[in-house]
Amino acid sequence: MRITELFDNGEFVVTAEVGPPKGISADHVVEEAKTYLSGITAVNVTDNQSSVMRMGSLPACVALKNAGLTPILQLTCRDRNRIALQSELLGAAMLGIDNILCLTGDHTKMGDHPGAKPVFDLDSVSLLHTACQLEKGVDLAGNPLVGEAPKFAKGAVVSPCSDSVDAQLAKMERKVMAGAEYFQTQAVFDSEKFIQFMEKAKQFGKPVQLGVIIPKSAGMAKFMNKNVAGVHVPQWMIDELAADKEKAKAGITGVELAAKVIKECRPYCQGLHIMALGWEAKVPELLKQAGI
């Protein structure tokens, strides 16, 4: 099932993110997803997230699909050139994986193989364009495909709380032009910033899923503020996380804060994208508190 059909039906689409393991067994990821994420619409499977080498996104997507979940294949341009990316998309379509999220990807220097060659032959925009070409039955070089053309729900990302919102909006417009059909955002902690962003982003007429991280501690919040692009945790949230360390450690504070952001932003967006970062078990409680 393509998630674009759900957006078209006006559904509030909830997705969450899981990362494949650095190993050969997907059992743990599948088990966690089945236990905690089976109530949501679809599960994003990251592609060597943060440039840390892991099992590929596609095989993990297949494992999740076999377990009855709807996977979204994340595809970055860091590790593969245009030939490999198109080949991967054809393979995904054959395996029945028809939800994709096109990203440029973190630089190789950010990960655990900093000496690796950064590819970036394509980028998020030209990858979306490439997927559209395949849907038309031709590859990026214009050569015809044999048989039925694939059909994807093509997603992209945007960073509403970036310190250069205009640049983000300009890039978002290019992604729409290139064929993006839905957007997932970087984690939002500041509802007001998100609402202001959506005022401008709604002109593109594409569904946007609010990105949410459950903050685990004041330390984590400060770390993200210092190191993670496009993420800003307001001081009052940091204070709240620091006020009762036990409560924060148990996830109670984080879930409350994240639920508050979701409730405030929900009228302005078309879905929710949760990056649980190991706290998958807290997702059902978060959704309950957020009233979803």
Q: Which distant-in-sequence residues (6+ apart) come within 8 Å of 238 by Cβ?
A: 218, 221, 222
Given a contact cutoff of 8 angstroms between Cβ atoms, the answer to whether 218 and 202 are in contact is no
Closest CA to 119 of 87, 75, 76: 76
Residues 184-203 close enough to bind another protein by CB under 8 A: 186
Query: Is residue 177 at the binding interface for another protein, with CB under 8 A as the rule?
Result: yes
* Residue 157 in contact with another protein, rule: CB under 8 A: yes
Counting every residue written for the chain, the total comes to 292
Choose, by CB under 8 A, the member of 166, 246, 267, 291 that binds another protein.
Answer: 166
Nearer to another protein, 51 or 253 (CB): 51
Give Cα 21 distance to the centre of its chain.
17
Backbone angles phi, psi at 47, to 5 degrees: -110, 95
Backbone angles phi, psi at 53, to 5 degrees: -65, 130
- For another protein, give the closer residue by CB, 124 or 270: 124
* Smallest distance, another protein to C-beta of residue 27, A: 32
CB of 60 to another protein, least distance (A): 23
Q: Judged by CB under 8 A, does residue 58 bind another protein?
A: no
Of the residues 168, 184, 191, 209, which one makes contact with another protein according to CB under 8 A: 168
Q: Which stretch binds another protein (CB under 8 A): 107-115, 188-196, 215-223, 248-256?
A: 107-115
281 binds another protein (CB under 8 A): no
- Look up residue 143 and give its DSSP letter: P
Count of residues interacting with another protein (CB under 8 A): 36
Cβ proximity to another protein, 84 vs 167, nearer residue = 167
Region for residue 278 given its phi and psi (left: phi exceeds 0; alpha: psi -120 to 50; beta: otherwise): left
Among 227, 236, 246, 267, binds another protein (CB under 8 A): 227
| Lookup: tokens for 262 | 């979701």
For position 171 contacting another protein by CB under 8 A, the verdict is yes
Contact status: 74 vs another protein (CB under 8 A)? no
Instruction: Collapse the DSSP code of 203 into the 3-class scheme (helix H, G, I; strand E, B; otherwise coil) and give the result.
Output: helix
Task: Quickly list H helices, 228-275.
Answer: 235-243, 245-249, 252-265
Q: Say whether residue 86 binds another protein (CB under 8 A).
A: no
Q: How far apart are CA 184 and CA 99, in angstroms?
A: 13
> Is 96:39 a contact under the CB 8 Å cutoff?
no
Q: Which helix (H) or strand (E) holds 4?
A: helix 3-8
Closest CB 40 distance from another protein, rounded Å: 24
The reply on whether position 163 binds another protein by CB under 8 A is: yes
Contact status: 124 vs another protein (CB under 8 A): yes
Strand partners, 103: 76
Among 34, 54, 65, 174, binds another protein (CB under 8 A): 174
Strand partners, 213: 275
Considering only residues 29, 33, 42, 140, which one is a binding residue for another protein as defined by CB under 8 A?
A: 140
State the residues that interact with another protein by CB under 8 A: 82, 104, 106-107, 109-110, 118, 120-126, 129, 140, 157-159, 162-164, 166-168, 170-171, 173-174, 177-178, 186, 227-230
